[in-house]
Chains A and B, each alone.
Chain A
Amino acid sequence: DGGITQSPKYLFRKEGQNVTLSCEQNLNHDAMYWYRQDPGQGLRLIYYSQIVNDFQKGDIAEGYSVSREKKESFPLTVTSAQKNPTAFYLCASSIGGLARSNEQFFGPGTRLTVL
C-alpha cells in the first residue's frame, strides 16, 4: 500500500535531549513537509522540502532541523534549543514539481512529550 508512515506514534524524551522523528513515503512524491499542532490549534509549518537535498524554513523553524538525503525520507530533529517541544507532529507529502495539484497527504502523526 502506498502512503506515509511516521514512527513512533508516541515519544517521550527528557528535557535537553535531541530527538529525531521519522517520516517515510512511498508515493514517489517530490515535496515533503513537517507541521506542528498544539491542542485546539491549527497546523503550523516547520520545514518543507521541494526536492532531494534541498529544504526551506517554514513559519516556526527555530529549534528544529531537517535533512532530505533521499526522496522517500524527511526526518525532523527536535533540538534542545526548542523551548516548548511537547506537541503533535505531522509529516505530509505532495507531488510537487510543476504538477497542478497542491494536495498534501498526511501521515498518522507522532505525539512528542518532553518530561
Chain B
Amino acid sequence: GQQLNQSPQSMFIQEGEDVSMNCTSSSIFNTWLWYKQDPGEGPVLLIALYKAGELTSNGRLTAQFGITRKDSFLNISASIPSDVGIYFCAGPQTSGSRLTFGEGTQLTVNP
C-alpha cells in the first residue's frame, strides 16, 4: 500500500533557527497536506498543496509540492517556542476518502 516516510523523526533547535522537514513516497500523490499537533490536542491543518511544483506560505511556514509528485517539504522560518509539536504530512489514498499519514516529525524549540 501507499506509505509516507517523514524525516527527520525529531529535531531539537534553538529559537530563531530555520527548520526544514520532508515527506517522501514511492507512489505519486495528487495532494499533500501538512498538519501540526500540539501536545494533547488534535492535529490542525497548516497547508494544503494541490499542484506539482506549488509553493504555498502560511505566515512563517512554507510548503512545496515536489515536481515528481512523490515528495513534499515544509520549512519554518525564525522558529519560536510555540512551534513545538508534531508535524505530520498526509496524502489521499488512491481510492475513497482515506488519507495516508506520515509518522510525524517531533519539533522541540529551546528558548
Whether A102 contacts B45 by the Cβ 8 Å rule is: no
- Assess A90 versus B103: contact at CB under 8 Å? Given A48-B97, A102-B97: no
Q: How far apart are the CA atoms of A58 and B33 in the complex, in Å?
A: 20
B99 touches A (CB below 8 Å) = yes
Q: How far apart are the CA atoms of A56 and B95 in the complex, in Å?
A: 13
A68 touches B (CB below 8 Å) = no
Whether B33 contacts A103 by the Cβ 8 Å rule is: yes
CB distance from B50 to the nearest CB of A (A): 7
- The range of chain B's interface size is 20 to 34
Q: Determine, out of A14-22, A79-87, A105-113, the stretch whose residues face the partner at the interface.
A: A105-113
CB distance from B41 to the nearest CB of A (A): 6
- Assess A43 versus B101: contact at CB under 8 Å? Given A106-B42, A109-B42: yes
Chain B residues at the A interface, C-beta cutoff of 8 Å: 31, 33, 35, 40-45, 48, 50, 88, 90-92, 96-99, 101-104, 106
Chain A residues at the B interface, C-beta cutoff of 8 Å: 4, 6, 31, 33, 40-43, 45, 48, 50, 56, 58, 88, 90, 92, 94, 96, 100-109, 111
